[in-house]
């Protein structure tokens, strides 16, 4: 797989609610904390303002625009920010599991959106690389994003057998396409997501992801990037935020943590599969990166509950 697919597979983003909002007239809706979920939305028709708690500037969303809210903060959608907001719980049915909600008669604004919970303890490896508001403008031809949005709207309007799974897959397509489009416009940031948008750095990261157990050296990775060793090391640190060897170790330990939590494989087997001939060397690296020994990590058993496991009241308030 490619590095973005690798990371998303490791984090297991799970869509637990996709729905539509059809609003009309003057309206304003305040949405609560999103339970550490990624909120993804696309404007099918009309326009509105998006305001996120802690951000000074609101964003105007137009037809065809898409947005991601990676930090789970409370936010507001409104035709006019001067309009007094109503709580989302007053707009959306407590028993709602999808479909399209009509507000103020509808007809002026149509939005489709999804919420994703991330499994595991390492959601930060994705979320830290995203700003509080990712705004993807629909001005250019984003047909790859437009198709799943329109198809999801059809499913929400006229539910059919198997529709739940179709909507779930469409939600994942929208999330991935939005991340792809965001990556194409990245310049000058720091982090692995920014590095993937760089052809040379992306080649080195892809090599590490393709074969994490390989005995990669700085020289070998520099050759993959088509750069001298010293230039590559400096550029990688500037772009990713850590050295190539630190990145490789971190990725190996994230893979190890996933297997310790889910596979039941012994530590010795996991260590060998990730290029460590010595279990003690692997355990030392694991504790340095993950903060505990492999066996302690494997014994924890439970992980933080996903947002879908929250009380019913927390499931009501999402467009």
Q: pLDDT tens digit string along 76-111?
A: 999 999 999 999 989 987 656 678 999 999 999 999
Residue 104 maps to a domain? yes
- Of 146, 168, 186, at which residue does a domain stop? 186
**pTM score above 0.85:** no
**Does 7 share its domain with 62?**
yes
Out of 18-27, 47-56, 184-193, 285-294, least confident range: 184-193
pLDDT computed for residue 303 by the predictor: 40
**Does 23 share its domain with 132?**
yes
Q: Is the pLDDT of residue 152 over 70?
A: yes
CATH number at residue 235: 1.10.10.60
- Of 139, 160, 186, at which residue does a domain stop? 186
Q: What is the mean pLDDT of residues 15-43?
A: 89
pLDDT computed for residue 93 by the predictor: 74
Q: In what order do the strands lie in the sheet with 66-69?
A: 100-103, 14-23, 109-117, 38-45, 66-69, 134-136
Which class for 69: exposed (0-12), middle (13-18), buried (19 or more C-beta within 10 A)?
buried
* Cα four-point dihedral sign 100, 106, 110, 113: negative
* Banded model confidence at residue 48, pLDDT cuts 50, 70, 90: very high
Q: DSSP per residue over 193-219, as a string? A: HHHHTSHHHHHHHHHHHH-TTS---HH
**Does 165 share its domain with 80?**
yes
The residue ranking higher by pLDDT, 181 or 119, is 181
Q: DSSP per residue over 106-170, as a string? A: -SSEEEEEEEEE--SS-THHHHTTS-S-EEE--SS--HHHHHHHHHHHHHHHS--TTHHHHHHHH
Question: What's the structural domain count of the chain?
Answer: 2
pLDDT computed for residue 306 by the predictor: 28
Listed as own residue / partner, the contacts of 213-218 with beta carbons closer than 8 Å and 24 or more positions apart are: 213/273, 213/274, 213/275, 214/275, 215/275, 216/244, 216/245, 216/248, 218/244, 218/245
Q: Give the chain's mean pLDDT.
A: 85
H/E stretch holding 251 reads: helix 244-262
**Does 77 share its domain with 15?**
yes
Q: What is the mean pLDDT of residues 203-221?
A: 95
**Does 176 share its domain with 217?**
no
**Does 172 share its domain with 49?**
yes
Instruction: Name the token pair of 281.
Output: 């060397």
* Alpha-carbon gap, residue 158 to 117, rounded angstroms: 26
**Does 202 share its domain with 175?**
no
CATH number at residue 90: 2.60.120.280
* Bridge partner list, 28: 78
**Does 50 share its domain with 72?**
yes
Residue 313 maps to a domain? no
- Spatial CB neighbours of 82, under 8 Å, sequence gap ≥ 6: none
**Does 77 share its domain with 173?**
yes
- Of 165, 186, 207, at which residue does a domain stop? 186
Owning domain of residue 207:
192-299
Give the CA diameter of the chain.
67
Instruction: Name the token pair of 181.
Output: 């489009």
Q: Is the pLDDT of residue 180 over 90?
A: no
pLDDT digits (tens, 9 = 90+) for 223-250: 999 999 999 999 999 988 899 999 999 9
pLDDT computed for residue 310 by the predictor: 30
pLDDT computed for residue 312 by the predictor: 31
Give the phi and the psi of residue 215 in degrees, each rounded to 5. Answer: -80, 70
**Does 118 share its domain with 236?**
no
pLDDT computed for residue 228 by the predictor: 97
First to last CA, the chain: 32
* Alpha-carbon gap, residue 142 to 251, rounded angstroms: 32
**Does 72 share its domain with 126?**
yes
Of 124-128, 156-160, 194-198, 268-272, the range with the highest mean pLDDT is 268-272
Instruction: Name the token pair of 100.
Output: 């399209």
* Alpha-carbon gap, residue 220 to 20, rounded angstroms: 49
pLDDT computed for residue 50 by the predictor: 97
**Does 181 share its domain with 116?**
yes
Alpha carbon dihedral 77, 81, 86, 88, in 10-degree steps, equals 10
Residue 114 maps to a domain? yes
* Alpha-carbon gap, residue 13 to 118, rounded angstroms: 5
Residue 318 maps to a domain? no
Residue 306 maps to a domain? no
Instruction: Write down the residue that tokens 């930060």 correspond to.
Output: 124
Residue 316 maps to a domain? no
Residue 124 maps to a domain? yes
Residue 88 maps to a domain? yes
């Amino acid at each position: 797989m490619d590095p973005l697919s690798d990371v998303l597979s490791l984090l297991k983003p799970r869509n637990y609610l996709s729905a539509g909002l059809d609003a009309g007239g003057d309206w304003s809706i305040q949405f609560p904390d999103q339970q550490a979920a990624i909120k993804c939305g696309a404007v099918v028709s009309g326009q509105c303002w998006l305001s996120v708690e802690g951000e000074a500037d609101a964003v105007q969303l137009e037809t065809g625009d898409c947005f991601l809210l990676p930090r789970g903060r409370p936010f507001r959608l409104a035709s006019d920010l001067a309009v007094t907001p109503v709580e989302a719980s007053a707009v959306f049915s407590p028993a709602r599991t999808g479909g399209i909600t009509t507000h103020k008669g509808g007809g002026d604004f149509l939005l489709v959106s999804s919420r994703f919970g991330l499994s595991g303890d390492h959601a930060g490896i994705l979320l830290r690389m995203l700003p509080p508001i990712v705004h993807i403008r629909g001005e250019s031809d984003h047909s790859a994003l437009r198709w799943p949005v329109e198809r999801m709207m059809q499913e929400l309007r006229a539910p059919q057998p198997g529709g739940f799974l179709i909507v779930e897959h469409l939600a994942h397509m929208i999330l991935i396409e939005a991340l792809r489009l965001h990556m194409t416009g990245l310049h000058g940031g720091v982090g692995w997501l920014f590095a993937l948008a760089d052809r040379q750095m992306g080649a080195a990261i892809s090599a590490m992801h393709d074969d994490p157990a390989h005995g990669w050296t700085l020289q070998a990775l520099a050759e993959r990037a088509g750069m001298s060793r010293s230039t590559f090391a400096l550029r990688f640190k500037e772009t990713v935020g850590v050295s190539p060897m630190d990145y490789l170790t971190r990725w190996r330990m994230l893979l190890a943590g996933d297997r310790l939590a889910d596979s039941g494989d012994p530590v010795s087997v996991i260590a060998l599969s990730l290029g460590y001939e010595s279990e003690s060397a692997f355990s030392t690296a694991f504790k340095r990166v993950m903060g505990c020994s492999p066996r302690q990590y494997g014994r924890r058993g439970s992980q933080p509950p996903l947002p879908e496991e929250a009380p019913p009241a927390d499931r009501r308030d999402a467009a």
